[in-house]
Structure 1
């Protein structure tokens, strides 16, 4: 299994190719930027190794405590953290849940202090509909970038494990010498 530095190198080596590929497919600089930003963010900070004390986890700095419950709930390399599409979806939902909890706290304080009228239901429905109708391509570009960044991680883990198994299988086994008193 590659180290965190190796995963970072792989992400940075693949980044120019994702930028070129995205621009060739979309012919849109904004979508390319969103896709590539999602890829880079996923490769460096939002990848599958948030389920352990990893380089990605450490990069969250003072906010790394957000990922402690995630680490307690998921086993390392489980299909819930390292699974194709599912791992990324779970991390997005997990982060959105924290944003909702923290946002609710700060909005409640602001409502007490300032006294403005604000409704979460209206806010969420309005913005969710806006994303679905107005910003569908942008949301798809970001999600695809996040997933491709995670896929580069999954693939390098798989390749590293397969290589270790191959090397272990090719290693000659030591011969056991028979002695006179051997019962074999």
Structure 2
């Protein structure tokens, strides 16, 4: 498994290719900026290794405590953290829920202190309109986050495959087919015979 520095190098070296390919496909500087920003953020701070004490985790600084419940909930390199699409969606939902709770808390305090008048229905409609109006931008940002996370996961999987290849040769690249079984003590029960 590559080190944190190696993951960072992979992210930085592939960023121009991701940005160039995005611009070539979309001809949009806005979409390119969103994909490239998402890729950079996903590769350096929002990647799969938030499930352990890692460089990505440490980069959150004094806010890294928000990822502790996430770490306690997931095994490292599980499908839920390192899996394609699901890992990124789970991290977005997790962070989105935390931000929503914080926003609600701030809005309630602002409403009480400064007599702001708004309804929760208006707030919900505004968020809904934003999701519909800027759907292309959200897709571009998600794509960038996913590409950043997948560059991390693919380098992990590639590094592990390379190590298996070094130890076992070509056989190490294929599933072994052997299932590890636990030894279970057999308890023989003799049928009771009535006399």
2:156 aligns to what?
Answer: 157
2:83 corresponds to = 83
CA distance in 2, matches of 1:91, 1:84: 12
Please state if 1:129 is matched with 2:129: yes
**What does residue 24 of structure 1 align with?**
24
Size of the aligned set, in residue pairs, is: 169
- Structure 1 unaligned segments of length 5 or more: list them: 171-184
Per the normalisation by structure 1, the TM-score is 0.89
For residues 154 and 26 of structure 2, the distance between their equivalents in structure 1, rounded to whole angstroms, comes to 25
Which residue of the partner structure matches residue 59 of structure 2? Answer: 59
Structure 1 segments of 4 or more deviating over 4 A?
Answer: none
* Structure 2 residue aligned with 1:33: 33
Corresponding residue number in structure 2 for 1:138: 137
Give 1:85-104 correspondences, 5 Å limit.
Answer: 85-104=85-104
Report the 3-state secondary structure (helix = DSSP H, G, I; strand = E; otherwise coil) of the residue aligned with 1:93: helix
Over aligned residue pairs, what C-alpha RMSD do you find? 1.1
Aligned residue for 2:77, secondary structure, equals: coil
Instruction: Name the stretch that deviates more: 112-121 or 153-162.
Output: 112-121
CA distance in 2, matches of 1:25, 1:155: 23
* Residues 78/120 of structure 1: CA separation in 2 closer, same or farther (3 Å cut): farther
Report what 1:120 is aligned to: 120
Distance in 2 (CA, whole Å) between partners of 1:130 and 1:114 is 25
Report which stretch shifted further, 37-46 or 109-118: 109-118
For the pair shown, the structure with the greater C-alpha radius of gyration is: 2
Aligned to 2:106: 106
Q: TM-score, normalised by structure 2?
A: 0.84
**Shift in alpha-carbon separation, 1:103–1:32, aligned structure 2, 3 A:** same
- Structure 2: gaps spanning 5 or more residues: 170-195
